[in-house]
Copies of this chain bind each other. A is one copy, B any other.
Amino acid sequence: MRFSNNPLITPKDIQPTTDGYEVFSVLNPAACTFNDEVLLLLRVIERPVQTKGFLSIGVLDVGSGGYKRLDFSLDDPLLNYDDPRVIKYDGVTYLTGMSHLRLARSRDGVNFKIDPKPTIMPSTYEERYSIEDARITKLGAAYYVYYVAVADFGFSTILLKTTDFVRFERIGNIFPGVNKDVAIFPEKINGMYAALHRPDTGFFANPSMWMAYSPDLVHWGQYSLLMQPRAGKWDSSRIGAGTVPLKTDKGWLEIYHGADEDHRYSLGVLLLDADDPSKILYRDSKPLIEPAMDYETNGFFKDVVFTNGMVVSPEDPGKMFLYYGSADERVCGAALMLDELIGRCNCPGRAAKPRVVMSRL
């Protein structure tokens, strides 16, 4: 079911934002259909072209909107770079790469053309280090784009609204603190907007999936635990939403990610009750996709498949295109038949062919 032309997009396919910078990763795209095209909103990670003896990074210069370059001498005893994703210098933590979001477009969902310039760059103080791992939810005629913002003082979830993917209106910071993997349902449920999310759980427990509800998309509450990692299984260490939930006549279909103790990230199927998504109808005991291909097992962070979006094939309403980041470095795709996905879920009446239900506001 993986696309035969995987990986679809690799860092060398992406033009850097500015001279003197290089793209070292492209991953975890949001996905939607818009004007007869499949759109991916790629997370692109850049850094300055490195020079011998130095570790160089870029952070947002909030005033100018451009990059501010920081160069750390590898000899400097104040520098700590044990983790490839972060560096620590003199008590301050930085990211080794700054991410922005960039559109890729496709008529067939398989072959993508990448925009030469960023679509959404970090622009505010909450986004000084990076904007990462977007998802897109269509609600009525509007598309809502939301992502994790990273700054020197912590994490935010920022919500934008667009109708044309050219202009983006900033709605606000909708989840505080370390809260990732937000996926907003594409219609109201019992009169309220709903979302999956993954708040930090401190030292007590492993990251879990929670529900939240909102009257207006701006203010969220009614937080409740949906499900936790499962000891001994593929999703034993941490779990979070993957795709934006897709409404089917059997319930909300969600592809979520789980990692085990070895930080091996796989994807599994979850089916939630249509009227009360806090009810779990089915959860995969074995992963749907686990790292297996060389482009998934080797890379910037090995053994990772991680999804932020799935669309219905432009040509076949019974076929889904799932997009995912592999090894935190590349973008891949897989074709999944809806009846096979729902067939895993032990639904009553499973003999009847499942179908996608168009969401409405």
Residues of A within 8 A of B (CB): 86, 91, 93, 125-126, 150-156, 172-179, 197, 199-205, 208, 210, 212-216, 218-225, 228, 231
Contact = CB atoms under 8 A, between A and B. Distances in A.
A203 B202 CA distance: 11
A221 B172 contact: yes
Contact of A204 (B125, B150, B219): B150
A195 to B, nearest CB: 11
A345 B3 CA distance: 65
13 contacts: A151-B204, A154-B204, A154-B205, A172-B221, A175-B176, A176-B210, A176-B223, A177-B200, A177-B202, A178-B200, A178-B202, A213-B219, A219-B220
Contacts of A152: 204-205
A216 B93 CA distance: 37
B176 A178 contact: no
Kindly report how many copies of this chain are found in the complex they form together.
2
Nearest to A156: B223
A176 B173 contact: no
Contacts of A173: 221-224
Contacts of A91: 231
Contacts of A154: 199-202, 204-205, 208
Contacts of A156: 223
Contacts of A210: 176
Contacts of A151: 204
B204 A93 contact: yes
Contacts of A216: 215, 219
Given A156-B223, A220-B220, A202 B204 contact: no
A294 to B, nearest CB: 31
A130 B157 CA distance: 29
A223 B157 CA distance: 9
Contact of A176 (B153, B199, B204, B219): B199
A170 to B, nearest CB: 11
A62 to B, nearest CB: 13
Contacts of A126: 225
Contacts of A222: 172-173, 218-219
Nearest to A217: B221
Given A202-B200, A218-B221, A219-B215, A178 B175 contact: no
Contacts of A175: 176, 223
